[in-house]
Amino acid sequence: MTAVSVAESIEASEFMFMKYVADFNKSYGTREEFNSRMARWIEVDAFVREVNAPGSEYTHTAAHNKFSDFSEGEFKKMQGLKAKKVVSNEPIMLEDVPVNSGNDVNWVTGSSCVNPVQNQGNCGSCWAFSATAAIESSYCLTSGTNKLWKLSEQQYVDCATSKYYNFGCNGGNYTSAWNYNQQYGQMQESQYPYAGKDGTCSYVASEGEVSTTDGGYYLEVGGTSSKMMTAVNTKPMSVSIEADRLVFQTYSSGVITSSKCGTSLDHAVIVTGYVTSTSPNYWIVRNSWGASWGEEGYVNIGMSSGAGICGINSDPAQPFTQTWTA
């Protein structure tokens, strides 16, 4: 490549990066920051082009999004999953019941028991959003009330802390959050709104709406597709995945089936259904990065054996819920 063509390539990249800056309303304080953000964007752009190239090995499409100029360190802060610790009561185990393939389940379109996608912001609170979404849908579908509360993630962030092996914006686990819910009913978001940062616990027992049950407060689903489908046939399910790689970060549409997504669990999401009537079979997964990411906040992750694509088979679980009594 000649010096002229190199210069032209740099100019073209800067032009495209400037368009990205305008499209996503970005601003930077210094020329040095601009250059570092552009360098990262160019890396991401090369991967997006690789995924979308004709004849690509990938089964999904990629696109730039609000994370395309994030450093790897900044992006990893959003992956707030901590290892699961059962601190009281053993979970109930799900029996492996055969499920007929060819059927599809979608609780988003097939019920009124899934709230709209939310945005955790720069707080590593994915665990709180996964736990809350599972609680909301579980209560709506199993209480006999068909009542869909919008419950408070911030309550988990502020109150379900180190005693429960959770650390606010520095991470936690959905099963530990549900353990907290045995003693403390979850309040409505309108009463305890999301701040996207650590705060002082402001729990009011009389305003709690939903708790998990005594004894076995959650269902340990187990990492096979048949068990996971059996569980999702009843209600949405919390799962852990790896989300720090570009395969997941740049997801736009289609089905992720690439092993390059990894299996080192660092992010909590919720499975709201599955599709087995088409190939590849896949899980319908709700994320907490806002509706501008992926397919209006959702991602389709292919079904597979072992740890699963992005590690999705590794730690699926569902809470048992009841009306809270202070």
Q: What is the pLDDT of residue 61?
A: 98
Catalytic residue among 64, 123, 267, 313: 267
* Inter-residue contact 137 to 107 (CB < 8 Å): yes
Q: What is the pLDDT of residue 55?
A: 96
Burial class (CB in 10 A: 0-12, 13-18, 19+), 287: buried
Q: Report which of 83, 59, 18, 49 is spatially closest to residue 301, judged by C-alpha positions.
A: 59
Structure tokens at 125: 């609170």
- Given a cut of 50, the residues of the chain with pLDDT beneath it are 1, 3-8
Q: Which long-range contacts (CB under 8 A, 24 or more apart) does 219-222 make?
A: 219/91, 219/92, 219/93, 219/94, 219/317, 219/318, 219/319, 219/320, 220/91, 220/92, 220/93, 220/94, 220/317, 221/94, 221/316, 221/317, 221/318, 222/93, 222/94, 222/96, 222/316
* Cα 60 from chain centre: 18
CB 268 within 8 A of CB 319: no
Please say whether the beta carbons of 319 and 307 come within 8 A: no
The C-alpha atoms of residue 82 and residue 169 are separated, in whole angstroms, by 11
pLDDT at 214: 85
Please tell me the total number of residues recorded for the chain in this structure.
326
pLDDT in tens, 58-93: 999 999 999 999 998 899 888 999 987 655 555 666
Q: Which CATH number fits domain 75-323: 3.60.15.10, 3.40.50.300, 3.90.70.10, 3.40.50.1390?
A: 3.90.70.10
Q: Of 113, 126, 140, 159, which is the active-site residue? A: 126
Q: Find out whether the peptide bond into 280 is cis, omega within 30 degrees of 0.
A: yes
User: Which pLDDT value is given to residue 85?
Assistant: 65
Q: Where are the domains of the chain?
A: 3-56, 75-323
Do 305 and 191 contact (CB within 8 A), yes or no? no
Q: Which of 287, 300, 310, 313 is catalytic?
A: 287
Nearest-10 crossing angle of helices 126-142, 174-183: 60
What's the CA gap between 151 and 132, in Å, rounded? 7
Q: Which amino acid belongs to residue 245?
A: R
Task: Reply yes or no on whether 126 is catalytic.
Answer: yes
Question: Which DSSP state fits 69?
Answer: T
Global model pTM greater than 0.95:
no
- Whether residue 178 contacts residue 88, with contact meaning beta carbons closer than 8 Å, is answered with no
Report whether 49 contacts 95 (CB < 8 A): no
Give tens-digit pLDDT for 143-159: 999 999 999 999 999 99
